Structures are given as structure tokens and as C-alpha cells.
Amino acid sequence: AANPRTASTQTATAPLGPDARAAVHKTVLMCRPDHFTVSYRINPWMNPELPTSTPLAVEQWQSLHDAYRSLGYDVELIEPIPGLNDMVYAANGGFTLDGHAYGAKFTYEERVPEGPAYMSWFEANGFEVHEPRAINEGEGDFLLSNGAILAGHGFRTTLESHDELRRIFDREVVSLRLVDPSFYHLDTAVAILDESNIAYLPKAFDDASRAELERRYPDAILVDDQDASVLGLNSFGDGRTMLIAERATGFERQLRERGYETVGLDLSELLLGGGGIKCCTLELRR
Ligand code: ARG
């Protein structure tokens, strides 16, 4: 069952023990942060008074792009649009599954034009596009796990959009309520580790949602506040190697104990906009 991409990746990185986990080939969409800056505040991480460096953001973004390529991912790109500071956070551009793309409808007017921009990209790149009626911020709040869609709500994405998701994709949709403003998108509070397991920050959820996560994922990794405070959970992987914020050292240790490989990256400039690795990544499932 070995995929040749995976095999070449394995020889390129550290030698693997017999317990190494299997990688699943990934295709992702990214948007170079050519117009990244912080000039408004729509989440607690953003401070328009603090200076940002667009070249540094591009350099850090490039390191993520190159890490994906060296793991054998297919990386597709959407053209950045001047004036859309946050377009680099591609995860919010929509949600794709089985060749269908559910478009995003943003909460804050600063990001509203990104919705149609991503929808035209999906349309031009082989997806059947579903225009959203309800406010939702795409894969920032919708994560595929075990065939079901974990769906956040509370800050950005609305519960009404969860119904739209159910109708479009005919999958189980598990609504989870986010309660901590610093973890305003689901992908800041949950990391998908592989088909069946996740890592999460318990305090980011209300009691009922936390109980649901405990029931579904008895072996989940629970991260601490320190790792969460560098958006350590905002990570992405292929079931074998997790790309994570390098400052999330506790999370890195937990992952290694479970047999995952880790690659630590510094996306500190993009953290000034309230996003990390996963925010810059939209998975394409044709
Ligand atoms: N500044 C962006 C916003 O507040 C950051 C988006 C982060 N994206 C994510 N998937 N968590 O909308």
C-alpha cells in the first residue's frame, strides 16, 4: 500500500522505527501573504498598533509551503488580492469534500470579499460549488474526522451553517460550541492527528461540547495553556508527520510519545493576525 511519495519522504527524514505511522497523501490550497498586515482587530490576537513585516510573513509562509512540498503534498495556490490582509488564512476560504466545495460567508466585512474569491477558485479548479446562505468561515470551523465533520460555532460560524453542511455533504455533523475568545475558530482549539484521533484544548469548549469530545475521543491529546497560547493546536499533518508551531514544545513531546513525527515551524509573524499553520492551509478533497 506504500505510496511512492511517502516512501521517498521516509528516506529523506529521520530513519523510522517499525511503529512509524502511515501517511495519507494531502492536497492543500495556500495563499501567499503578499498583502498581509494587521490594520483592524477582529480577534484578540490582532493589534493594529503593533508593526508587522510583510516580507517576514512571506518568508515564514514559504517555510510552511516548502515543508509541505518536502513531505510530498500537492500544494495549489490562489492569487492574493490587494487589500485583503487576511486572505493568507486560506482555511477560512471554504470547506471541500467529495469534489464539492461549500463556500465561506464571513462574519466581518473586512473579510467578506474573500468568500467569492475562493468560490471562483473552487469553480475554476474542478469543484461543484455550493453558495452559502449562512455565515460560516470554512475549514477554520469545519474539520473532517473519522468520516464526520466537527463543526465549531459561537464566534464566527453559525449553527445554521451546520445544517447546510449536513444537507450538502450528507455526513454526520457534530456541533461544538467555542467559548474562549482567543480560540475563536475550531482549528485553534482542535488539531486533527489522523483519521481517528485529535488533540484539543478542553477549556475552549462549553461543558456539553467537552463531554462530547471526551466520549468520541477517549485517547485524545489534551494540550496545556502554554502550548495553546502559541496556537500550538493550529497544526496540520498527514497522519504520520505533524507540522506544528515550534514553540509548542509540550505538544511536540506528546505527539512524539504517540509515534507521530513532528516538524516545528516559526509562523510568529502570522500569529499577529491570529493564525498559524492550519489557518494558512485549506485541504482540497476532490
Ligand atoms: N485574522 C483572521 C481572522 O480573525 C485570522 C484567521 C485565522 N484562521 C483560522 N482558520 N483560525 O479572521
- ipTM reported for the complex, 2 dp: 0.97
What separation in Å is there between the alpha carbon of 90 and the centre of ligand 1? 9
Give percent of the chain above pLDDT 90. Answer: 93
pLDDT value of residue 59: 98
Each residue's pLDDT tens digit, 253-262: 999 999 999 9
Answer whether 43 contacts ligand 1 (Cβ < 6 A): yes
Answer whether 275 contacts ligand 1 (Cβ < 6 A): yes
pLDDT value of residue 16: 54
Atom number of ligand 1 nearest to Cα 185:
11
Answer whether 105 contacts ligand 1 (Cβ < 6 A): no
Answer whether 114 contacts ligand 1 (Cβ < 6 A): no
Q: What ranges make up the beta strands (E) of the chain?
A: 27-30, 74-77, 94-97, 100-103, 128-130, 142-145, 148-153, 173-177, 190-192, 198-200, 221-222, 236-237, 241-245, 261-265, 282-283
- pLDDT band at residue 17 using 50, 70 and 90 as cut-offs: low
Q: Is the per-residue pLDDT at 11 higher than 60?
A: no
Q: Which positions ≥6 away from 253 have C-beta within 8 Å? A: none
Active site residues: 185, 279
pLDDT value of residue 265: 98
**Cell output for 73:** 503534498
pLDDT value of residue 284: 98
Atom number of ligand 1 nearest to Cα 188:
11
Q: Is the per-residue pLDDT at 9 higher than 60?
A: no
Atom number of ligand 1 nearest to Cα 92:
10
What separation in Å is there between the alpha carbon of 10 and the centre of ligand 1? 32
Q: Is the per-residue pLDDT at 217 higher than 70?
A: yes
3-state DSSP assignment of residue 221: strand
The pairing of strands 74-77 and 27-30 is parallel
